[in-house]
Chain A
Amino acid sequence: MPIYLDNNASTHLDPRVLEAMLPYLSGPAANASSLHRYGRLARDAVEAARAQIAQLVGAQPGEVIWTSGGTESNNLAIKGVAGNLAPARLLYGASEHPAVMEAAESLVSRGWTVQAIAVDKLGHVVESALQAQLARGKLKLVSLMRANNETGVIQDVARFAPAIHAAGAWLHVDAVQAAGKLPVDMAELGADLMSLSSHKIYGPKGIGALLVRADVELRPLLHGGAQERGLRGGTENVAAIAGFGRAAELVMQELEQRSAHLLPLRERLEAGLSSIPGLLIFGAGAERLPNTCQFALAGYDGEALLMQLDRRGIAVSSGSACASGSGEPSHVLIAMGYDAVTAKGAIRVSLGKDNTADDVDRLLAVLAEIARTLIAA
């Protein structure tokens, strides 16, 4: 089995989560919107999971809308808010996930003014840039991620929230990477909308959630059916929802324990990396997720390094999975001020709760070997 160090792209399914899903995969057919007995069993499972997701982020069950995943959540948040309003202004951080950036940019054709807020070399939103944008008025929505998927850099969203609200805008927080790795509380962050994904927290793929405060008006992205208070049509994916709920419950039980496991592993990795000449860790001076380390080996192309590691049975990423293979340098690193060559050298290691010190040591040994052959060549 390869050593899997790409947990920000996707985590494996926790066996305890699978156990929670199986009754809805092998049980009687159940459309949660049907009124009969089977339908009600499915509905109960859906509502129990809704309460679990709400609890994970300190929200109310009624604020949870199921989606097909983080991408849909981000699309629904941005286009959903915009869809109910006359064209105005929208801001997003320059290092946001493509789902946020592209959803936001799609509004330009509908008359919206969409602007990216600069981030600094550490990946933090530049506060003065944000303040300047806030002062320009007609602002309706600001979208900021809690933690970056590539660098793991944590954004101090809570600090910006009061000014964003004072400017008359809602705050959408993409918490897809933060949930399960950090405590995430909607009220503490000041979020009006928040995106979550199941398969980043050891739940199944194909399910996510958008948290929406009661006072935020959304236009649905998927029309049809009265599901999710009319905000998201489609038959509920009961098994996946039950799995997502269980995964959230496990996060609540194990978050501290997982962090306590991950942080020393990452420190071990970064201590090892520091002995490799010409190695750069992105966002090193910033507070980061305990599991994420993005780095570049000077003179080495990220995609090539990725393939070499893959041949030696180690799965890592060059950035976000979505952009993999595109040949484009990471927009996150470019936004942080790195040149294209450096950015194209990036490798992201994202540890999971079941990785071990042996996994890290094996990666370090292989990297050292590759670095030696590079120097020799």
Chain B
Amino acid sequence: MNKLSNTPVYHTPIYLDYAATTPLDPRVLEAMLPLLIEDGLHANPASSHGPGFRARAAVEKARAQVAALIRAEPTEIIWTSGATESNNLAIKGALEFRGAVQAHVITSRIEHKCVLDTCRYLETRGVRVTYLKPGAQGLVAPEQVMEALTPDTALVSLMWVNNEIGTVHEIERLAPLLRERGVLLHVDAAQAAGRVNIDLSQVPVDLLSLSAHKAYGPKGIGALFVRRRPRARLAPQMHGGGHEQGMRSGTLAPHQIVGMGAAFEILAREGPTEAVRLSALRERLWSRLQSLPNLHRNGDPDHAAPHVLNVSFEGVEGESLRASLPDLAVSSGSACSSATQEPSYVLRALGRDDELANASLRFSVGRRSTEVEIDTAAERVCRQVARLREISALWD
């Protein structure tokens, strides 16, 4: 009867929300600082004078670092303010360049909100959009995409790694099939960069969105890969000044760009080993949580990104579950929609009912996660779920 020992009490917070954003790596900050101090490389990189040239050189070095991680050419990297802008530019830019209002776009129901919102906007302009439903484990198969093609399909937009459930799409298999059919492929790789291998010298993706702050770089900076051979063409979405080969105007922010370059350089070196460590932490968390009955793992364990574990808890209500875990930084759905507290559209697309979708947590591990943290987090979750189930009118 006395539940006091189980009541939520404030503990040292544990951060398991690396898929929402990552802390800036101290080595990245160190690379950024020279551009933030007075007498540093503070000039506008578009300026034609010594300080401007030095700022531009720093920008170009970072461009090469970002290109290297995905095995692209530096000239194929366009700086943006983040993955949201990259996705907007890729999708609207490609469609607008074709001037094709009658065009058809294929995407999935589990894309990031910004891709879906962009597609919905395009629908208001007359574009037809097919939103593919993933299988129960959260994967859209390349065959599904190919079956949905129509003669006027202009673009396919499919994420490499899903941000909520961590499923990894078979982009390597899909890209050549679309290339053969001459259909442009855009891939949102915000969660994938540094976590799964991306080799654009081998995989014929046309447009690929990247984010720095999901990869231990700063917020406010991202990039869009735009293939040069064969050339993917875009209508600019931000006008004025003609920066970035005319595809994206606006003064560049060298400190952020240098930060993204440094972050991606670290990913290239450390990503593969780190992925092995993170996968082990993810599985450790899953096995610890299984001391509770009636859990559901969302996603496909055989096609899983190393950092994400999404679990639905039967018999508890989501808001109470989150309120019970104030010291655990996890997410219920993607960060962008958590304020609205609607059940995750991704989990619903997988066929989870509203109650279960609502009672789900996304754990995402990262560079500072440890086994001790994982064990502590699992213990807190198990304790609170058990407590809420004891209170619950739906649990017998």
Whether A and B touch (Cβ < 8 Å) is answered with yes
Residues of A within 8 A of B (CB): 1-2, 4, 6, 9-15, 18, 21, 25-31, 33-39, 68-72, 74-75, 97-103, 105-106, 197, 199, 204-207, 221-227, 233-240, 303, 306-307, 309-310, 313, 315-318, 320-326, 354
Q: Across the interface, do B220 and A237 meet the contact criterion of CB distance under 8 Å? A: yes
Residues of A within 8 A of B254 (CB): 205
Evaluate whether A29 and B21 lie within 8 angstroms (CB atoms) in the complex, with A4-B43, A306-B49, A317-B47 already known: yes
B279 interfacial by beta-carbon distance below 8 Å: no
Query: Given A68-B81, A224-B84, A309-B49, 9 other A-B contacts at CB below 8 A?
Result: A4-B43, A28-B23, A69-B251, A102-B249, A206-B81, A221-B237, A225-B337, A233-B114, A321-B251
Chain A residue at minimal CB-CB distance from B53: A310
Q: Which of B84, B329, B340 contacts A36 (CB 8 A)?
A: B329
B394 interfacial by beta-carbon distance below 8 Å: no
Q: Which of A34, A99, A317 contacts B249 (CB 8 A)?
A: A99
| Whole-angstrom CA separation of A170 from B26 in the bound complex | 46
| Chain A to chain B contacts (Cβ below 8 Å), 14 pairs | A6-B51, A13-B42, A31-B213, A36-B17, A36-B326, A37-B327, A72-B250, A99-B239, A205-B256, A206-B221, A206-B256, A207-B253, A226-B337, A306-B49
Q: Across the interface, do B251 and A6 meet the contact criterion of CB distance under 8 Å? A: no
Q: Across the interface, do A226 and B240 meet the contact criterion of CB distance under 8 Å? A: no
| Whole-angstrom CA separation of A234 from B212 in the bound complex | 12
Residues of A within 8 A of B256 (CB): 205-206, 240
Q: Which of B39, B114, B252 contacts A224 (CB 8 A)?
A: B114
Chain B residue at minimal CB-CB distance from A309: B49
Give the number of A-B contacts (CB < 8 Å): 273
Q: Which of B84, B88, B239 contacts A235 (CB 8 A)?
A: B84
Evaluate whether A321 and B255 lie within 8 angstroms (CB atoms) in the complex, with A15-B38, A29-B21, A315-B47 already known: no
B331 interfacial by beta-carbon distance below 8 Å: yes
Q: Across the interface, do B240 and A103 meet the contact criterion of CB distance under 8 Å? A: yes
Q: Measured between C-beta atoms, what is the minimum distance from B324 to chain A in Å? A: 12
Chain A residue at minimal CB-CB distance from B239: A102
Q: Across the interface, do B251 and A34 meet the contact criterion of CB distance under 8 Å? A: no
Q: Measured between C-beta atoms, what is the minimum distance from B88 to chain A in Å? A: 5
B13 interfacial by beta-carbon distance below 8 Å: yes
B338 interfacial by beta-carbon distance below 8 Å: yes
Q: Measured between C-beta atoms, what is the minimum distance from B292 to chain A in Å? A: 21
Evaluate whether A34 and B335 lie within 8 angstroms (CB atoms) in the complex, with A10-B44, A71-B249, A315-B47 already known: yes
Chain B interface mostly:
loop
Q: Measured between C-beta atoms, what is the minimum distance from A179 to chain B in Å? A: 15
Q: Measured between C-beta atoms, what is the minimum distance from A354 to chain B in Å? A: 8
B167 interfacial by beta-carbon distance below 8 Å: no
Q: Which of B29, B240, B242, B329 contacts A97 (CB 8 A)?
A: B240
Evaluate whether A325 and B114 lie within 8 angstroms (CB atoms) in the complex, with A29-B23, A98-B240 already known: no
Residues of B within 8 A of A199 (CB): 44, 251, 253
Chain A residue at minimal CB-CB distance from B119: A223
The proximity string for B residues 17-32 relative to A, scoring 1 for CB distances below 8 Å and 0 otherwise, is 1101111101001001
Q: Which of A10, A30, A322 contacts B242 (CB 8 A)?
A: A322
Enumerate B134-181 residues with CB–CB distance to A below 8 Å: none
| Whole-angstrom CA separation of A223 from B337 in the bound complex | 13
Q: Measured between C-beta atoms, what is the minimum distance from A196 to chain B in Å? A: 13
B82 interfacial by beta-carbon distance below 8 Å: yes
B112 interfacial by beta-carbon distance below 8 Å: yes
